[in-house]
């Protein structure tokens, strides 16, 4: 472990994935602090003493006014300047599920015009009209600059959301996101591994099967699936089958996402 690499997880107000996320980062070698949003607002300088900032999954403020909206507004109104300085220092941010909804509302991804806190994408209600809790197959865009998905080609992960359909402000935004290779993950057919609109492989109807997006630096990453929920090979619903056919891994593939972040912070931010 390199104790100099620190990760901060913002908690509170209905967020509920702090323990899994902390475990993932600890396994990757980071020193982890969990801090309630109110405490961070009282001491915003804590943002500048960390290299990895995590917006985690859950149901912040009950998803009232739209998933992530209230939490994002509190961040913007109380921590906007500190967050901008944190980003300008080249630090890392990951937003998972509700965390993705929050950083999308903040305009941190895709952030086509830099840090202007102007949202250009949103996470809308699933086409199915219901909350989905299932596993999906994801294909990684190798041309993406994303730090977190280095050396991953495909990855199975669970999803747990009712508002996960990525929509863009307009077609021009979508075109630029794709032109700049900011689409990091696509929901894929588990056989062909091609992006799909077909339900249930695409669980929410997300346009072009988009499941995760980064900014142009690759240091800010938002995704709807939960890598922190696949830290052990035994988390996978087919682990018995994998054990019988000899494909069971020592760790869950979700751990790679966090290891990539800690490795990058070790090599570049210290």
Residues that are catalytic: 97, 226, 228
3-class secondary-structure state, position 149: coil
Rg (CA), the chain: 17
Ranges of H-type helices in 28-166: 37-42, 69-88, 98-105
The rounded distance, in Å, linking the Cα atoms of 98 and 111 is: 18
Strand partners, 132: 161
| Phi and psi torsions of 134, nearest 5° | -160, 175
Reading across the β-sheet that carries 31-36, which strands appear in turn? 31-36, 6-11, 52-55, 92-96, 220-223, 210-214, 183-188, 132-140, 154-161
| SS3 of 60-76 | HHHHCCCCCHHHHHHHH
Q: 39 Cβ partners below 8 Å, 6+ apart?
A: none
Eight-state DSSP code of residue 90: T
């Amino acid at each position: 472990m390199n104790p100099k690499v620190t990760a901060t997880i913002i908690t509170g107000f209905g967020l509920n994935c702090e323990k899994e996320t902390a475990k993932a980062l600890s396994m990757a070698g980071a020193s982890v602090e969990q801090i309630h949003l109110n405490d961070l607002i009282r001491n915003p300088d804590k943002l500048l003493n960390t290299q990895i900032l995590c917006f985690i999954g859950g149901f912040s403020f009950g998803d009232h006014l739209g998933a992530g909206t209230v939490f994002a507004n509190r961040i913007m109104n109380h921590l906007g300047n500190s967050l901008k300085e944190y980003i300008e220092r080249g630090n890392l941010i990951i937003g998972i599920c509700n965390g993705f909804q929050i950083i999308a509302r903040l305009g941190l991804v895709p952030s086509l015009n830099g840090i202007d806190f102007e949202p250009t994408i949103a996470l809308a209600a699933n086409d199915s009209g219901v909350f989905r809790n299932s596993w999906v197959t994801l294909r990684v865009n190798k041309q993406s600059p994303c730090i977190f998905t280095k050396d991953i080609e495909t990855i199975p992960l669970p999803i747990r959301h009712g508002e996960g359909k990525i929509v863009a402000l307009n077609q021009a935004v979508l075109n630029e996101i794709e032109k700049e290779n900011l689409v990091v993950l696509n929901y894929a057919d588990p056989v062909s591994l091609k992006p799909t609109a077909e339900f249930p492989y695409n669980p929410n109807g997300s346009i072009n099967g988009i499941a995760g997006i980064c900014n142009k630096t690759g240091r800010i990453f938002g995704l709807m699936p939960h890598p922190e929920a696949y830290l052990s090979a035994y988390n996978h619903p087919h682990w018995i089958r994998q054990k019988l056919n000899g494909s069971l891994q020592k760790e869950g593939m979700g751990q790679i996402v966090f290891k990539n972040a800690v490795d990058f912070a070790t090599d570049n931010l210290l």
